[in-house]
Amino acid sequence: MITTALALLTALTVSSGPYNASAGQNAPAPVGEKRTVVHDDGTIETTTVYVPPKKDAYGNAQGNQYDLAVDGAFDGQTVAVLHFYTQENFDFHLPQAALKEKGFSVYRWINTPPSPEELREKLKKASELWIISAADRRLSDEHIKVIKEYFDAGHGVYIWGDNEPYYSDANAVGKALLGVEMHGNVPGGQNVPVQAMNGHVGVMKDHLLSTGLENVFEGITIATIDENQYLKPLIYGSAGNLVTAVYEKDGKRAIFDGGFTRLYLGWETAGTARYVKNAGAWLANYEKFGGKVTLK
């Protein structure tokens, strides 16, 4: 008679701070299962078998333990959102629910921005700012000055645009903060894999933002980002165009993205919820603030 006992172990060292053990890995390491067998003669044999995590229908590891951050790690922190594109029933409830899993609350200004003075005051209580552009520009130069102050203090900024002409504020803020703009219309609608080589179609290999993402949805019709020396390409679309790029230098973090349709269309395709959660966690800039979210 043989008796088999299974005990789940991990071959990974638990990471410090808010991050999961697999942070920075597109494909999480196999999990060790300790198996003990008692043979008929009374001898006991123990072995460890390493089993890859189960994957979803799109090839990404299942389970929030394979996101960048631990669930609830950012409890009490706020993502402020300047939400200007609201057509097609885009109400931000899907990304808001995803961010909530990591502890973030969301505060939105819808369609119309606050005064620059109110924006400055509200941002003192926010760990990061997301800007979702519309076709017309709604942020004044004074608004952008406030956003640049916030960014220069080390607080994360996510700048979202989409296909022409839905990048007016994205380009105004992107140029002021990062020296970059986006342009054009490129058909998307595809899931892209991990990049085989730098500059190829797909998502960057082994970056904190691409934790747990072996495949990711690019968006519907998307804009193309002009590459520059300050940005790291994060996602190249199926047409070979740069869709998403990141800035990480001098303790500052930003993401510049030409595919905001991912936030409400095709949400159930490859990796979008995980990517949004990863972006929230990364932009919180724990390495700089260690949980502190207010301006000095």
* pLDDT, position 34: 74
Residue among 243, 263, 241, 269 nearest 255 (CA): 243
Give pTM, 2 decimals: 0.88
Q: What is the number of helices (H) and of strands (E) in the chain?
A: 6, 15
Taking CA atoms, 279 is separated from 100, 171, 236, 242, in Å, by: 13, 20, 17, 17
**Minimal CA–CA distance to 209: which of 281, 291, 293, 129?**
281
Whole-number pLDDT of residue 292: 54
pLDDT of residue 27: 94
Using an 8 Å Cβ cutoff, are 102 and 280 in contact?
yes
Q: How far apart are CA 269 and CA 77, in angstroms?
A: 28
User: In which element (H, E) is residue 152 found?
Assistant: helix 141-152
The pLDDT value recorded for residue 43 is 86
Task: Say what the pLDDT of residue 11 is.
Answer: 30
User: Which residue spans within the chain are E strands per DSSP?
Assistant: 3-8, 31-38, 44-51, 78-83, 105-110, 128-132, 156-160, 182-187, 191-193, 202-203, 215-217, 221-225, 232-236, 242-249, 252-257
pLDDT of residue 41: 83
Please answer whether residues 237 and 186 qualify as being in contact, where contact means their C-beta atoms are separated by less than 8 angstroms. yes
Per-residue pLDDT tens listing for the chain (296 residues)? 333 332 222 333 334 589 999 999 999 988 766 778 788 888 888 877 778 899 999 999 999 999 999 999 999 999 999 999 999 999 999 999 999 999 999 999 999 999 999 999 999 999 999 999 999 999 999 999 999 999 999 999 999 999 999 999 999 999 999 999 999 999 999 999 999 988 889 999 999 999 999 999 999 999 999 999 999 999 999 999 999 999 999 999 999 999 999 999 999 999 999 999 999 999 999 999 985 543 32
> C-alpha angle with apex 254: 106 to 78, nearest 5 degrees?
20
All CATH 3.40.50.880 domain ranges in the chain, comma separated: 65-289
* CA–CA gap between residue 104 and residue 293 (Å, rounded): 12
Q: How many CB atoms lie within 10 A of CB 287?
A: 14
Query: Tokens 């020296």 label which residue?
Result: 179
Tokens 């085989």 belong to residue? 196
Domain 65-289's class?
Answer: alpha beta
Element (H, E) at 148: helix 141-152
Which pLDDT value is given to residue 15? 42
Q: What is the pLDDT of residue 248?
A: 97
Q: Are 31 and 51 in contact (CB under 8 A)?
A: yes
Which neighbouring-strand residues pair with 44?
A: 38
Cβ partners under 8 Å of residue 191, min gap 6? 58, 215, 216, 217, 218, 269, 270, 271
Spatial CA neighbour of 212 closest among 194, 234, 228: 194
Helix (H, G, I), strand (E, B) or coil at 47: strand
